[in-house]
């Protein structure tokens, strides 16, 4: 029987990072909470969980806009602190077994890319502790594009780097923003949430 995560008719596979390839939701929440706490900002877990497809900077922007907050430091400084907190626990991050199996099954058969709203430095340093390090042809992050998810830019650039037409790509995602971005790019979407416990 064909796995529900099998890509079926695709020429290339694009994978979101946080929540899709890796189980990092709690670590990301803790890191963002620790970065915001010195500023007197409380981050509700439910609010955070509902916006996991946003980059850290975009999430902070949404938080300040919705809460009418005036932060005393630039967003980039808060993001840098968040990344520092996260990297202290990067060695504890684990791969999602079901998605890891897809990557291992199709490695060498179809070109694959990481396409994430996360930071390149955080992804590359975390990847060292995981079995993904040599399995992807390219990694595209929020720094590589003008607009993050739900805009399609990250996925379109990943497809371009792989040399594959967008409509021939299958995207593995775990967030509403990521699904919207993949659909806006004209790609097939495989929602991993039923297979990763989210």
- The structural domains of the chain, with segments of one domain joined by +, span 12-24+94-196, 25-90
Categorise residue 97: left if φ over 0, alpha if ψ from -120 to 50, beta otherwise: alpha
Q: Rounded to two decimals, what is the model's pTM?
A: 0.91
Catalytic residue among 16, 23, 83, 153: 16
The Cα 27–Cα 85 span in angstroms is: 9
Active site residue 16: yes
pLDDT confidence band for 1 (50 / 70 / 90): very low
pLDDT at 109 over 50: yes
pLDDT at 19 over 60: yes
pLDDT at 106 over 60: yes
With contact defined as beta carbons under 8 Å apart, do 99 and 5 qualify? yes
CATH class of the domain comprising 12-24+94-196: alpha beta
CATH of 25-90, one of 1.10.540, 1.10.150, 1.10.3470, 2.60.40: 1.10.150
25-36 and 75-87 helices, crossing angle to 10°: 130
A 10 A CB-CB count for 11 gives: 16
């Amino acid at each position: 029987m064909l796995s529900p995560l099998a890509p079926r008719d695709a020429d290339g596979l694009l994978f979101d990072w946080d929540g899709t390839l890796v189980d990092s939701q709690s670590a990301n929440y803790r890191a963002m909470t620790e970065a915001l706490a010195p500023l007197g900002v409380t981050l509700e877990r439910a609010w955070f969980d509902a916006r996991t497809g946003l980059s850290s900077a975009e999430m902070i922007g949404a938080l300040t806009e919705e809460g009418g907050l005036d932060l005393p430091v630039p967003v980039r400084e808060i993001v840098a602190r968040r990344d520092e907190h996260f990297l202290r626990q990067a060695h504890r991050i684990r791969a999602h077994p079901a998605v890891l199996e897809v990557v291992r099954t199709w490695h060498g058969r179809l070109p694959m890319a990481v396409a994430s709203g996360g930071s390149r430095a955080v992804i590359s340093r975390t990847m060292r502790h995981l079995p993904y390090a040599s399995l992807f042809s390219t990694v595209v992050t929020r720094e590589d594009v003008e607009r993050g998810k739900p805009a399609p830019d990250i996925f379109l650039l990943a497809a371009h780097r792989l040399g594959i037409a967008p409509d021939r790509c299958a995207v593995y995602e775990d967030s509403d923003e990521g699904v919207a971005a993949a659909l806006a790019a004209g790609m097939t979407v495989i929602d991993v949430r039923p297979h990763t416990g989210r």
